[in-house]
Amino acid sequence: MVKNDLKTLPFHNELSLSPQDILDLFKVTFDQQLYRDDRQILSDDIQLVKSELFNRNYSAAFDTAEKRTAYCCRWSPSRAIAYSSLFCHLDAVRAVIQKSDESEILCIGGGAGGELISISSIFVPSVDFNSKYSTSAQVENKTLKVTLVDLADWSAEVEKLKESISKTWLFDHANDLQIQFLKKDVLQATSSDLNLPTLNLITLLFTTNELFTAAKAESIRFFQLLSNQCKSGCHLLIVESAGSFSHITVGTKKFPIQFLVDTLLLGKRGQEDTGAWELVQEHDSLWYRAKDDVDYPLKVENMRFFYRLYRKK
């Protein structure tokens, strides 16, 4: 298991498209909202979402198209540039995106597009854009399948981002990146719903705490489902806010969410080798800081978070 002393992720990892490329994609996708004459409409929608998120009313935060678009404009760009740096930092994650001929990724709670754009920003530099014009024997290009599952209906926003990725980044290689949105409560989903036995990577980014807050027993059963159905070698990446915001109450006590997840996946303390997963990398408090000179019409946030990267035995 790898644990290092890194305090801050690089602003840009050279193995991905630049943060400005990522921000530009959001600017193109949501130009009508970001550059409308009456900017107050977007500002009001952002405030509504911010209030609901602060009160942990997650379903209310995303119950209208206007709120979902506001989130995509305001918070998804910050998440996307941070995730891009993090995914490149984690060699096993980057390998799934860039090095495998065929890979399948499931992003739980990924409807807002942060994961999708970060994955795409790493996938694009690995594409051989000359392969389809070669006069030599045709070599099959690698493909990457990304499924985004979310309780709210982000299908329209995902479709807009998908179109921008195709037109701006992938061009005639758009079919190499297969993007699917699934509107479903992941705690009620079956193994076949999520294609668990075929997955190479599962991401739970700022979602795990939300699941346990909504339904502890169902969340425990969901992690047990992952342990039973995921294939050997599948990676699971969990990211949550560092600090007390990610504590979960069990009985009368509060615990950091990662302690509970570690117990479910690795085994009880002192018996970690009994679990179905092994811990590959971890960090308890890592920063991603955006540079002040990036060009985006709204504030680009810094992020402080912890992560756990597991591998199925």
Name which of 183, 110, 184 is nearest 146 in CA terms.
110
- For residue 277, the SS3 value is strand
> pLDDT at residue 136 above 50?
no
- Residue 36, in any domain of the structure: no
**Position 96 confidence tier, pLDDT thresholds 50, 70, 90:** very high
Evaluate the CA torsion angle 296, 29, 102, 229 in order and state its sign: positive
The number of angstroms, rounded, from the C-alpha of 114 to the middle of its chain's C-alpha atoms is 6
- Residue 45, in any domain of the structure: no
Instruction: Give residue-wise pLDDT tens across range 158-197.
Output: 999 999 999 999 999 999 999 999 999 999 999 999 999 9
**Position 99 confidence tier, pLDDT thresholds 50, 70, 90:** confident
> pLDDT at residue 279 above 90?
yes
What is the average pLDDT across 13-23?
Answer: 97
Name which of 39, 115, 21 is nearest 75 in CA terms.
115
Instruction: Give residue-wise pLDDT tens across range 27-83.
Output: 999 999 999 878 899 999 999 999 999 888 888 999 999 999 999 999 999 999 999
The number of angstroms, rounded, from the C-alpha of 196 to the middle of its chain's C-alpha atoms is 17
Portion of the chain with pLDDT greater than 70, in percent: 93
Residue 303 near residue 223, CB atoms below 8 Å: no
**Position 17 confidence tier, pLDDT thresholds 50, 70, 90:** very high
CATH of the domain at 149: 3.40.50.150
The number of angstroms, rounded, from the C-alpha of 287 to the middle of its chain's C-alpha atoms is 16
- For residue 278, the SS3 value is strand
If one compares 155 and 99, the residue with the highest pLDDT of the two is 155
Instruction: Give residue-wise pLDDT tens across range 240-257.
Output: 998 756 677 777 777 788
Containing domain of residue 149, as a range?
Answer: 75-128+139-312
- Residue 42, in any domain of the structure: no
Give one DSSP letter per residue of 53-104, joined into a string: HHTT-HHHHTSSHHHHHHHHHHTHHHHHHHHHHHHHHSHHHHHHHHT-SEEE
- For residue 25, the SS3 value is helix
Neighbour-count burial of 269, counting CB atoms closer than 10 A to its CB (0-12 exposed, 13-18 middle, 19+ buried): exposed
What's the pLDDT score for residue 3? 59
**Position 269 confidence tier, pLDDT thresholds 50, 70, 90:** confident
- Alpha helices in the chain, H assignment, sequence order: 19-29, 31-34, 39-54, 58-61, 65-74, 76-89, 91-98, 114-123, 155-165, 191-194, 208-214, 216-229, 257-266
If one compares 12 and 56, the residue with the highest pLDDT of the two is 12
What is the average pLDDT across 272-282?
Answer: 91
- Residue 23, in any domain of the structure: no
What's the pLDDT score for residue 142? 81
- Residue 172, in any domain of the structure: yes
The number of angstroms, rounded, from the C-alpha of 117 to the middle of its chain's C-alpha atoms is 9
Name which of 231, 110, 128 is nearest 170 in CA terms.
128
What is the average pLDDT across 111-140?
Answer: 79
**Residue tagged 């993007």 (tokens):** 179
- Residue 234, in any domain of the structure: yes
The chain-wide mean pLDDT, for the chain, equals 92
What are the two backbone dihedrals, phi and then psi, of residue 140, each rounded to the nearest 5 degrees? -60, 130
How many structural domains comprise the chain?
1
What is the average pLDDT across 227-231?
Answer: 98
Name which of 156, 3, 175 is nearest 71 in CA terms.
156
- Residue 105, in any domain of the structure: yes
What's the pLDDT score for residue 135? 39
- First vs last Cα of the chain: how many Å apart? 13
What's the pLDDT score for residue 137? 39
> pLDDT at residue 13 above 60?
yes
- Residue 154, in any domain of the structure: yes
Residue 116 near residue 77, CB atoms below 8 Å: no
